[in-house]
Amino acid sequence: MQRLLFSLLFSLSCLVSIGQESQEAPYKKYPVYPPVKLLMADSLSWYAKDDLPRKKPVMLLLFNPKCEHCQHETAEMTARIDRYKAVHIVMATTAALEEMRGFIEKYNLSSFDNITVGRDTGFFLPVYFDIHNLPFHAFYNKKLELISVFSGSMTVEKTLTELGK
């Protein structure tokens, strides 16, 4: 009887583990800039892949306005924005519009021509990249092909090194 029960439990655990095989994150299957539409701070306009500047590498940075690491990285990045003059930075969040607007104002992000901040209203990016930590970075070359991704804080030098690959 115990053998039968053990065999049954073992069989069930094998079936459960087979059913829980991890799926590959979509960005690995489609290593190009994602088809996401971001709601802009005015809550009327949208920003999508077609709006990106042509022939410029892109750093996609997913953040949360309440995240201390995101705040620190944004402060460092804006203090040294001259280092990013050849790069377009897209900052995306799933936070509420009011929080996003406060973040934009706090770091004066609307004053930088090469920074776009928008809200991922459909929560597309966390699933697309299988994000578990913020900030999250995705680096794209001039052809909008994925170079690399990184989860966690990065220095200005490290982000520029990734973009230069």
Name the β-bridge partners of 129: none
Count of C-beta atoms within a 10 Å radius of residue 101 = 18
Note down the domain range covering 148.
Answer: 24-163
Averaged pLDDT, 104-121: 98
The answer to whether position 1 is within a domain reads: no
In a domain, 9, yes or no: no
CATH for 113: 3.40.30.10
In a domain? residue 12: no
pTM, two decimal places: 0.85
Q: Check residue 165 and give its pLDDT.
A: 67
pLDDT, average across residues 88-95: 98
Mean pLDDT, residues 148-152 = 97
How many structural domains is the chain composed of?
A: 1
